[in-house]
Chain A
Amino acid sequence: MTQIKRRDFIKIAGATAAVSAFGFPAIAAAGGKKKVVIVGGGTGGATAAMYIRRGDPSIEVTLIEPNEHYYTCYMSNEVLSGARSLDSIKFGYDGLRKHGVTVVHDMVTGIDAKAKKVSTKGGKSFGYDRCIVAPGISFKDNIAGYDEAAHKLMPHAWKAGEQTKILHGQIEAMKDGGTVLIAPPPNPFRCPPGPYERACQIASYLKKSKPKSKVLILDAKDKFSKKGLFTQAFERHYKGIIEWVPAKDTGGGIKSVDAKAGTATTGSGDVHKADVTNIIPAQVAGKIAHTAGLTNESGWCPVDHKTFESTIHKGIHVIGDAAIQKPLPKSGYAANSEAKVTAAAVVDLVNGREPGTPSWVNTCYSIVAPADGISVAMVYNFVDGKVAKVKGSGGLTSKDSTPAERAREVQYAYSWFNNITTDAFGGY
């Protein structure tokens, strides 16, 4: 029955297009309803859908996402240590539907900025007044030999779900006395503290279950997010388990792999045969951003920070990890915050109003041990046409904070997770 409805809708939509082509105002033909199409159902895309509906329920919001469930990257490191289940980071789209969002499970294959039309693998076409693209990341070929087949043998687990499951399984199956090799990517990449929280989470499991084992981090960088606090955690909780090696000591970290042989080779030619190898490749914006011509030479999407509208294609906004949003980080909270700014701007723009002044926040927790949490936070405002950090705000957990404060930060991290996912996926 729904299929018949959909077919009818396409017929009607086709008819409207024909009418507008003959010079009738599109607004009248479409019954006055404004249409927003959102590409991608991660934290950014889902939040944008929710907040447009909140801002103006008369706007028709369609979110197109290939998967029926989204696995959050945040907290996925706790799945690796066994501290939480994969199911606990799995979210569906019924919450969005409940708030009046039309969710379509299909893959967007093209965005025509001139015709204002999104087309899908399933052969459908969706017209829009404004389009929001939240495609997340895709991987660069910076590590020789790291092809699709290698992804299964040496999982990146940088898109949560099946990949998280594979890596977790490998760590669980590893013998005591084994080594887990983590190869963090060069900047910029999704979730800057993620690889180091991952090292802590894996080490936390090993310390308890396989105490003779090691975690070796061969980094593509010489410094990283929350470095002081992570170094303190490595010393405090995982002395003799975690070893971090900067890029300068290895010729730039891992440069090639032979996944079948189980080896990874550094820039200076050292071959590592670890029991578990976690390769996190260099990153660029998600695939559709490239196909739609929304990226520049950096591989990321330039946007006007006031509205997150693409500076390449008018009428299309890019949010989340894919956007060039510095000094906002590529984090889940920043995606959530950018989505709200963009939703407000889109509501204004489709209603013919000038968008207001934006404001953003980032809050990011890392759980480095069962009762030891650390965080970084920042408030951002709009200065001279760009996102700027509000002076005097934000910063890191103090290195001298007490065990009680660190334990609270873990509970706050769990609350953060429950609230951001409820906010984004409409679980209310």
Chain B
Amino acid sequence: MPAKKSLAMLLGSVLMFGSTQLMAAPTASMLADTCAGCHGPDGSSMGPAIPNIAGVSAEYFNTVMKEYAEDDRASTIMGRIARGYTTEEIALMADFYAAKKLKSTTQKLDTAKVDAGSKLYKKNCSKCHDEFGALADDDSGILAGQWLPYLHYSMEDFQAGNREMPKKMKKKIKKLSAAEIETLLQFFASQQ
């Protein structure tokens, strides 16, 4: 009986793919669930530093993973992980996490800085990081409710040239002081 079944499967796959490749790709949840050990269940991280990935747009996820794999974006560990997947597998994970809703985080923030940041946000960031950094569809990642240490690391990488900054962002960042940038990061972290 098992022999019969595998023969049927073999024929099935030959018919479908015209090859003898038997192994189907892992499902989206099979692939994506392996991320949860570090990024939290369904991509909502408990912090303090590993970022949330729940709800990021598929476009953003795909781009970032490609950059990690090719060492175009600085990372400690993500390059090593990203190189383990095909473009198709990454796309499955991207769709999986795009469909997840981010759970709100609680982190210690400085209210005065958050307030100051909210004033700077509109003028400097709102065009690309829409809805206070919460809109996935702008493909800029989700900054709202993101863990503050991660936002610090990202900004350090941007400013050190280890991660490519969009031209418009570069111009804006240049004009802001370190203290002002800090208030912006605190503001984004405070958003739910």
Question: Beta-carbon contacts of A392-428 to B below 8 Å, as 1s and 0s?
Answer: 1111010001001100110110111011101100011
Are B26 and A333 touching (Cβ within 8 A)?
no
The answer for the CA separation of A357 and B29 in the assembled complex, in Å, is 11
Say yes or no: is A29 at the interface (Cβ < 8 Å to chain B). no
The answer for the CA separation of A428 and B39 in the assembled complex, in Å, is 13
With a 10 A CB-CB cut-off, give which of A333, A341, A390, A415 has the most chain B CB atoms: A415
Interface residues on A, range: 35 or more
* Chain B contact surface mostly: loop
Q: Which residues of A contact B3 (CB under 8 A)?
A: none
Say yes or no: is A344 at the interface (Cβ < 8 Å to chain B). yes
The answer for the CA separation of A363 and B77 in the assembled complex, in Å, is 9
Say yes or no: is A53 at the interface (Cβ < 8 Å to chain B). no
Q: Which of B41-49, B132-140, B172-180 contacts A (4 or more CB under 8 A)?
A: B41-49
Residue on A nearest B84 in the bound complex, by CB: A379
Q: Which residues of B contact A381 (CB under 8 A)?
A: 26, 84
Are B46 and A359 touching (Cβ within 8 A)?
no
The answer for the CA separation of A51 and B29 in the assembled complex, in Å, is 11
**What count of chain B residues pass the 8 Å CB interface test?**
37
Q: Which residues of B contact A340 (CB under 8 A)?
A: 30, 33-34
Q: Which residues of B contact A411 (CB under 8 A)?
A: 48-49, 149
Point out the residue from B26, B103, B153 that lies within 8 Å of A356, measured CB to CB.
B26
Q: Which residues of A contact B30 (CB under 8 A)?
A: 340-341, 344, 356-359
The answer for the CA separation of A327 and B25 in the assembled complex, in Å, is 20
Question: Beta-carbon contacts of B16-31 to A below 8 Å, as 1s and 0s?
Answer: 0000000111110111
Do A356 and B45 contact each other (CB < 8 Å), given the known contacts A337-B34, A405-B76, A408-B153?
no
Question: Beta-carbon contacts of B44-59 to A below 8 Å, as 1s and 0s?
Answer: 1111111000000000
Are B46 and A418 touching (Cβ within 8 A)?
yes
The answer for the CA separation of A379 and B93 in the assembled complex, in Å, is 14
Are A51 and B33 touching (Cβ within 8 A)?
yes
Q: Which residues of B contact A375 (CB under 8 A)?
A: 76-77
Q: Which residues of A contact B35 (CB under 8 A)?
A: 361
**Closest-CB distance, B97 to chain A (whole angstroms):** 14
Do A415 and B84 contact each other (CB < 8 Å), given the known contacts A361-B34, A409-B76?
no
Q: Which residues of A contact B27 (CB under 8 A)?
A: 344, 356-357
Are B41 and A382 touching (Cβ within 8 A)?
no
The answer for the CA separation of A416 and B46 in the assembled complex, in Å, is 9
The answer for the CA separation of A333 and B33 in the assembled complex, in Å, is 12
Do A377 and B80 contact each other (CB < 8 Å), given the known contacts A411-B48, A415-B47, A422-B40?
yes
The answer for the CA separation of A318 and B29 in the assembled complex, in Å, is 21
Point out the residue from B29, B47, B147, B149 that lies within 8 Å of A344, measured CB to CB.
B29
Q: Which residues of B contact A382 (CB under 8 A)?
A: 23
* 15 contacting pairs across A/B (C-beta < 8 A): A51-B33, A340-B30, A356-B24, A356-B26, A358-B30, A361-B34, A363-B77, A375-B76, A381-B26, A393-B81, A393-B84, A408-B76, A415-B45, A423-B36, A423-B37
Interface on A for B, CB 8 Å cutoff? 51, 333, 336-337, 340-341, 344, 356-361, 363, 375, 377-382, 390, 392-395, 397, 401, 404-405, 408-409, 411-412, 414-416, 418-420, 422-423, 427-428
